[in-house]
């Protein structure tokens, strides 16, 4: 990401010590949130104080994620990288497109359906595939499209 200059931009009026952070990839805070959640789940630390802290951390993490995501989308739009979002979110795009196709077909073709049910993962469930197989297949496709995006960006 540093090669493509996707990362933090440092304002000119900020402290001089922050210049070393220029180009640092964003969304690093998500690692802390995930590791804390895994720790709480593994060690079963479910009491009111811990849960309150977790909720607060997730709320602040969500604000940071939204801020970083908006920065990233703006930078990607400047460099014409919006195609990467389509590749990265391929599974989600297919899910959304299956609903759009189903609704359009239902309304325009006199209540005829393309899929047994939409989104498309429900179609596969009704076809007889087990949920674990559907989820694992979608996960593999997501990992592959993520790797394609990362390899192309780096």
In terms of pTM, does the model score above 0.75? Answer: no
- d(CA 149, CA 65) in angstroms, rounded, equals 20
User: What single DSSP character describes residue 80?
Assistant: T
Q: How far is CA 18 from the centre of its chain?
A: 28
| Phi, psi for residue 129 in degrees, rounded to 5 | -75, 145
Structure-block tokens of residue 120: 């498309």
Task: Give pLDDT tens digits along the chain (154 positions).
Answer: 556 555 666 667 666 766 676 666 666 667 777 888 888 888 887 788 888 888 888 888 878 777 777 777 776 676 666 677 777 788 888 888 998 898 888 888 888 889 888 888 889 998 999 888 988 999 999 999 888 888 777 6
| Angular region, 110: left φ>0, alpha ψ -120 to 50, beta rest | left
- d(CA 41, CA 28) in angstroms, rounded, equals 21
């Amino acid at each position: 990401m540093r090669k493509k200059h996707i990362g933090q931009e440092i304002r000119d009026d900020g402290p001089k010590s922050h210049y070393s952070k220029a180009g640092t990839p964003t969304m690093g805070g998500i690692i802390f949130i995930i590791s804390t959640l895994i720790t709480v789940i593994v060690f079963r630390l479910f009491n009111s104080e811990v849960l309150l802290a977790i909720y607060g951390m997730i709320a602040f993490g969500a604000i940071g994620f939204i801020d970083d995501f908006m920065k990233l989308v703006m930078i990607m739009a400047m460099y014409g990288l919006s195609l990467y979002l389509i590749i990265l979110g391929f599974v989600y795009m297919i899910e959304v497109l299956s609903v759009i196709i189903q609704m359009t077909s239902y309304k325009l073709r006199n209540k005829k359906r393309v899929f047994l049910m939409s989104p498309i993962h429900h179609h596969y469930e009704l076809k007889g595939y087990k949920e674990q197989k559907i989820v694992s297949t979608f996960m593999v496709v997501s990992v592959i499209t993520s790797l394609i995006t990362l390899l192309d960006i780096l």
